[in-house]
Structure 1
Amino acid sequence: MKSLTRYWFRFEKLPSASAVNLGCGVTAHGNEDALALLKERVFKKPTLPTILNWVADVDISKLDSKHVLPNLGNPVLRGVWFPQGFDG
């Protein structure tokens, strides 16, 4: 079984208000798996907005303490843990 990695993605700002403008947290079996989860669950299309940067093995404690940390899903399980609501 492949190990899981926590990723944090930052995108170019979306035109409409969205928690995604703060970033997206994903736990996946690698970069390709993380991108696939974002396409399937968050954006629901085969392309993603422009990725400004991404961090593998992100230290969750360093994320935004006012908006992101209080609203995390479970970063230990495979899936999208920020924003919540895209877990399947």
Structure 2
Amino acid sequence: MEILVIFILLFSTIKSGIAYRNDGVFKEVKVGLVVNLGSIEGKIFKTSFSLALSDFYRINNGYETRVALSSRDSQGDLLIALDA
């Protein structure tokens, strides 16, 4: 149940913005991640997500879209997760 809530919150908090580099413009997509960082599953999920993004952009460095990961600790409380 907690993982389902996390995924719903993750995909409902996608916002986009524009950021500028010296050699051009790239689009930044802000993704919010709300997990219980006190649990092992939450720590694994946050680390896995960060590593997956890092690996993706290392292999596909020509992409002009960048995902900016912002995480928040739900402290195991669903109301805090919903408030995020």
The two structures have a TM-score, normalised by structure 2, of 0.29
Scaled by the length of structure 1, what TM-score is found?
Answer: 0.29
